[in-house]
Structure 1
Amino acid sequence: MCGIYASISTQIFRAPNELLKQLLCNRGPDHIGEAQARVDGKGGTSFWISLVSTVLALRGGHVTAQPFLDPSSNSALCWNGEAWKIGLDTISGNDGQAVFDLLIKASSDHVSAPDSTAAVLRVLRSISGPFAFVYLDTYHNQLFFGRDRLGRRSLLHRSDDDTNVQFSSIADTTSGPWQEVEADAVYRYSLDTVNSREKHKTSSYDPFQASFAAIHKHVWACGSEPCPSVTIGTFNRAIPAEDFVLDEQTASVQLLRYHLSESLKLRILNIPKPPEHDSTKPVSIAVLFSGGLDCTVLARMAHDILPLNEQIDLVNVAFENPRVVRAAQKAALLEDKPPKDSQGNQSTPMTTAEISVPSFSPFEACPDRETGWKAFRELQTVCPSRTWRFIAVSPPYKETLEYKDRIIQIIHPHNTEMDLSIAYALYFASRGLGTASTISRLEPEPYKTPARVLLSGLGADELFGGYTRHATAFNRTGFTGLLDELKLDVDRLGKRNLGRDDRVISSWAKEARFPYLDEALVKWAVECPVSQKCGFRINAQPSQQDSKLEPGKKILRLLAYELGMHSVAMEKKRAIQFGARTAKMEVGKTKGTTLIS
């Protein structure tokens, strides 16, 4: 995980301002590196290029400096990501260095620009894993940039005018608005061409588009070109027969277990010990833990992979929502009213001060806190040889408001109330500061997880039909509607809010990893028939159901049941902002799409 920055100017070298540099260092506190290069384009324009990388060292045995530089050509790479595989080869050392070596070879081995572009694209298309990058190829005066095909890492851009364009993992909003680089392609910009404002004397002039008039978009799919491209498959739209079977004996359940296990191995093994780790309490990973199906399956399967001496932190976040508190207080007051006389009047008037209001914890009453404790206990029962640590993160409402402006800046350019409510939960959860309980120490003690890697269950709902709207679509138009909705989710995986989530979680020098969004797992899931993933049935009666498990994400529920997590297998889906109660904290009637005021 890193923070990356690049500036392309036709006037001077432009470094990030101090605020933006600090935001980048928050993402990568282990190292900061800078590089500069001047490129003289064939069109007579000179480009001053400034590159900055900050590093969170999670791969290899030591901190590897960035940006990566080729001394013979001055080509450079700013890399923010994890290349789990390149082609069929698993990368065990520093992945950024491996990617850079292949890119330099692709650029230097091909004299003509078209050939070199194809070679560079072959390298980038062969990478499995989350990443964002800026690659300066001075052999051919080209700049490549982009995000992985699923958009799991953040990359933003902005332009002051047509003489300066900037890229960054995170925005400094004091310098103006930024836009998110789309995750639909690799973008290539020729430094041999520049567009000036004089050529765009229109009211709709866009500096970024003007500066990048020489931009080329290369979609992730190879088309007819032969290359080792990583794909996420072709969606299976086959309508199932009405008598299909999906139970614990169905082959897809074991295939899901295999793919998820392989994905987890890449993401949780060989993680360097964090700087603040306690050798008596070794912990390298934490799970963003609501107690729901998706995250608890990850925790349970991580137990089968990690050595038993490693502890696993389960980070559970709950908030003090003032609307919920007021409602609870009102209900308590109503229940505590004195008895009425025969005419229905209160026999003895009482003041508010005299009314005894039962103690109420807004945190422990949160749905995700309740399911979190429940799943924590089930994990302890099923896997007693592992030390599980339940971390209760409970920021008071006052503290939540104190961080509001900071969080709004971090999520930019996302700017809706829903963005903010989700970001609240991710921000405080990734900080990992709260109280911890274990089976041997039930009395909570202050604790902050040292883990720099956080596992997230994001992606399971999209792949296996876990949202309420999937059930709604099926109820309205049957399998056709369900397939349309699932296909829509797959198509927009790269446009979802993963960039926003990356900016929030990384601000605490933590890296989110998404096992359900492993490319091989995604490809298998989208090509799998819907009857092997979901349990929705036409005209189903309760007595006709082949189990008590809900139809949404049924394949994952069957896997949880097989793993011994019987209670978790039956948990209902709950959105993070409602489970943690960050939704509508200030105004009850606010819509999620309302812009932040």
Structure 2
Amino acid sequence: MCGICCSVSFSLEHFREDLEKDLLCNLKRRGPDSSKQLLKSDVNYQCLFSAHVLHLRGFLTAQPVEDERGNVFLWNGEVFNGIKVEAEENDTQIMFNYLSSCKNESDVLSVFSEVQGPWSFIYYQASSHYLWFGRDFFGRRSLLWHFNNLGKSFCLSSVGSQTSGEANQWQEVPASGIFKVDLKSTAISRRMVLKLYPWKYISSENVIEDSVNNLTQISADLPTFVSVTINEAKLYLEKPVGPLNMILPQAPLETQCSNISSDLPRRETLQIFLSDRHTKEVIQQFIEVLSIAVKRRVLCLPRDENLAPKEALKPGCRMASVAILFSGGIDSMVIAALADRHIPVDEPIDLLNVAFRTKEQTVPANLNKKRSKQKNHCEIPSEESSKCLTADDDKLFSVPDRITGRAGLKELQALNPSRTWNFVEINVSLEELQKLRRTRICHLVQPLDTVLDDSIGCAVWFASRGIGWLVTPGEVKSYKSNAKVILTGIGADEQLAGYSRHRVRFQKHGLEGLNKEIMMELDRISSRNLGRDDRVIGDHGKEARFPFLDENVVSFLSSLPVWEKADLTLPRGIGEKLILRLAAVELGLTASALLPKRAMQFGSRIAKMENNNEKASDKCGRLQIVSLEKEINS
């Protein structure tokens, strides 16, 4: 995972030999293992490339990389499938080798059509003066663009920065395909034309209609001197997943489950589903494809780099390489159970569980003194204060996700007692939330700006930071997760009707409406969630990985009729994400298979900390604190 940036200037007065300080700092936090800048100058323009690498596989490859012809490549991605990358190889160099051998634009598109995994990239072709850039189909890696109002410069970056009180300076590059800019032509005409190479199914889908819709949406917020057009040759990228199965049952839905009584306990209901041969086969196929997706995301990592071989074998010396955003809910439980299959058994797995104080109470005076002596709230508190915290504040942080998380921990310990499961209790006070939102998180969440973005962005930032407490029957100690890879369950609700709005749509419009809702969720996941989560998690020098959005997992789930994935005639806690609940039972998980969906902002109780009267879709003033302060002081 990396922080990548390209700043392009078309005029000497706007040219800078270094990036703005705050932007450079934000990029470096994403890539702590290597930082490098490269300047490419032409008579008409200058490009400053900046890359900051988090080393995760193969040999450390510093970026930007440049070949003998002056082509430059910046890569923030992981090749999990499609293009062969051996365990000891680095995918940045592999991808650059492919691109350097491309003879035309069709070859470039073929390379990115093959890749399975999350990515964003910037690629400069020196001889043609082209700058290519884009994000993967789901937008699992962040990439932002910023256009100077005078049209004299523009910038692409993994993360932005706030430099004034103006809103929406940075915008997310749409995950609509790959873009190409002719830098020489732009410099001469002073008008920028973004050529789009959109995603398209190989089937009979009408690409022109889709592209026109994309162009209207993309162009809406761009400056007048920037236009978006479909490439003249009508070339496209092959979509990495199949179309959603929209078939409807010939018989009414109720007949699918006619042998299930509404009076049956939920566990018995799941067992009845599993007694059907076809259903059981589908569940086994789902487990297999999801297990492979998890396997690809937990192997080929640097493990115990700083330990001598003998020391690494000592009990308690091994560190976790993989962490999971963990609520004890069905998504995180299944991911944990599958990760347990593939991570070495003597390596711990960190389960990151975040809770926000349910209400502010008077803190004991002696604890205030201890807190005042701490120079930085980001430091791990002392073991002495941790004992005081867990003894006095346990009830304050006993939020729903903490309760289900502890229950989930017991299930995992029963599933594999040999594994060290580090259940990391991450407790966040209102004071710390407000301070770090203002100084760090608001920069990362933007350009998204709703109350929901604030709640989830803050919760994910504190969870992925991994600073908390390990509480066992005989011991309480401070802990910081050093795992570079963080698995998250995002994508399960979108595909498996996990949200309450799915149930509302089903009740109003039946299975046809439910299918359309699922399709819409997948279409907008790049703009609603993934760029934000990548920026927030990447800020800690860690990489987010999304097993439920593996291309093969999505293709498998998309191929199934909707009633094999969810049955919303059944009550909450069983009907939504039915296929995942059945998979959990097959994996040996019981209690967690029956937990109803609970959104992170409510399970962690962050939504209850400040303004309870807000709607999730409202613009969040708290995300604007820094810019408003600067505006007042200017």
Flag whether TM exceeds 0.5 (same fold): yes
Structure 1 residue 535, shift from structure 2 partner: 2.3
> Alpha carbons of 1:212 and 1:199: their partners in 2 closer, same or farther (altered >3 Å)?
closer
- Please tell me the residue identity of whatever aligns with 2:432: E
Structure 1 residue 360, shift from structure 2 partner: 6.6
Aligned to 1:191: 183
1:236 to 234, 238, 245: 245
SS of equivalent residue, structure 1 residue 496: helix
Distance 1:198 1:137 in 2: 20
Are the counterparts in 1 of residues 45 and 187 from structure 2 also a CA contact under 8 Å? no
Query: Scaled by the length of structure 2, what TM-score is found?
Result: 0.79
Distance 1:232 1:468 in 2: 26
1:197-208 correspondence runs (5 A): none
- Please tell me the residue identity of whatever aligns with 2:41: R
Structure 1 residue 217, shift from structure 2 partner: 4.7
Distance 2:522 2:242 in 1: 10
Distance 2:230 2:32 in 1: 33
Are the counterparts in 2 of residues 186 and 217 from structure 1 also a CA contact under 8 Å? no
Is 1:156 aligned with 2:150? no
1:22-421 correspondence runs (5 A): 22-40=25-43, 46-60=44-58, 62-70=59-67, 72-87=68-83, 89-92=84-87, 93-106=89-102, 110=103, 116-160=104-148, 161-174=150-163, 177-194=169-186, 209=223, 212-213=226-227, 216-217=229-230, 229-240=238-249, 241=251, 242=253, 243-244=255-256, 247-248=273-274, 249=277, 250=279, 251-273=281-303, 279=312, 280-322=317-359, 361-405=394-438, 406-421=440-455
> Alpha carbons of 1:232 and 1:319: their partners in 2 closer, same or farther (altered >3 Å)?
same
Aligned to 2:385: none
Structure 1 residue 247, shift from structure 2 partner: 2.2
SS of equivalent residue, structure 1 residue 23: helix
Distance 1:199 1:158 in 2: 15
2:600 to 571, 576, 582: 576
1:531 to 542, 547, 563: 563
Larger CA deviation: 372-381 vs 585-594: 585-594
Q: Which structure has greater helix proportion?
A: 2
- Please tell me the residue identity of whatever aligns with 1:231: P
Q: Which runs of 4+ in 1 moved over 4 A?
A: 195-200, 205-213, 215-219, 222-225, 274-278
Distance 1:21 1:256 in 2: 42
Are the counterparts in 1 of residues 7 and 48 from structure 2 also a CA contact under 8 Å? yes
Aligned to 2:381: none
Is 1:20 aligned with 2:38? no
Are the counterparts in 2 of residues 127 and 230 from structure 1 also a CA contact under 8 Å? no
Structure 1 residue 475, shift from structure 2 partner: 1.8
Q: Give me the identity figure in percent.
A: 36
SS of equivalent residue, structure 1 residue 392: strand
Structure 1 residue 195, shift from structure 2 partner: 6.4
> Alpha carbons of 1:23 and 1:524: their partners in 2 closer, same or farther (altered >3 Å)?
same
- Please tell me the residue identity of whatever aligns with 1:587: N
> Alpha carbons of 1:362 and 1:11: their partners in 2 closer, same or farther (altered >3 Å)?
farther
Is 1:566 aligned with 2:566? no
Q: Which has the larger radius of gyration?
A: 1
Distance 2:462 2:6 in 1: 29
Aligned to 1:338: none
Distance 2:5 2:123 in 1: 11
Are the counterparts in 2 of residues 128 and 230 from structure 1 also a CA contact under 8 Å? no
1:425-436 correspondence runs (5 A): 425-436=459-470
Length, aligned pairs only: 530
Are the counterparts in 2 of residues 422 and 577 from structure 1 also a CA contact under 8 Å? yes
Structure 1 residue 436, shift from structure 2 partner: 1.1
- Please tell me the residue identity of whatever aligns with 1:413: P
Aligned to 1:509: 541
Larger CA deviation: 314-323 vs 549-558: 314-323
C-alpha distance after superposition, 1:460-485 (max 9, x if no partner): 01111111111222222221221121
- Please tell me the residue identity of whatever aligns with 1:165: F
Larger CA deviation: 484-493 vs 282-291: 484-493
Distance 1:162 1:207 in 2: 15
Are the counterparts in 2 of residues 274 and 452 from structure 1 also a CA contact under 8 Å? no
Distance 1:586 1:193 in 2: 50
Distance 2:30 2:190 in 1: 39
- Please tell me the residue identity of whatever aligns with 1:306: I
SS of equivalent residue, structure 1 residue 427: helix
Aligned to 2:506: 474
Distance 1:526 1:206 in 2: 30
Distance 2:221 2:510 in 1: 47
1:443-522 correspondence runs (5 A): 443-522=475-554
Distance 1:212 1:444 in 2: 57
Are the counterparts in 1 of residues 147 and 154 from structure 2 also a CA contact under 8 Å? yes
SS of equivalent residue, structure 1 residue 525: helix
Distance 1:276 1:402 in 2: 33
C-alpha distance after superposition, 1:227-275 (max 9, x if no partner): 8x45221111111233336822412211110110110111001211266
Aligned to 1:339: none
> Alpha carbons of 1:268 and 1:169: their partners in 2 closer, same or farther (altered >3 Å)?
same
SS of equivalent residue, structure 1 residue 96: helix
Are the counterparts in 2 of residues 283 and 310 from structure 1 also a CA contact under 8 Å? yes
Structure 1 residue 593, shift from structure 2 partner: 2.1
Are the counterparts in 2 of residues 534 and 555 from structure 1 also a CA contact under 8 Å? yes
Are the counterparts in 1 of residues 141 and 534 from structure 2 also a CA contact under 8 Å? yes
> Alpha carbons of 1:429 and 1:497: their partners in 2 closer, same or farther (altered >3 Å)?
same
Distance 2:479 2:562 in 1: 43
> Alpha carbons of 1:276 and 1:433: their partners in 2 closer, same or farther (altered >3 Å)?
farther
Distance 1:196 1:39 in 2: 12
SS of equivalent residue, structure 1 residue 236: coil
- Please tell me the residue identity of whatever aligns with 1:396: S
Unpaired segments ≥5 residues, structure 1? 41-45, 111-115, 327-357, 543-547
Unpaired segments ≥5 residues, structure 2? 193-218, 258-271, 363-390, 622-634
Aligned to 1:335: none
- Please tell me the residue identity of whatever aligns with 1:3: G
SS of equivalent residue, structure 1 residue 149: coil
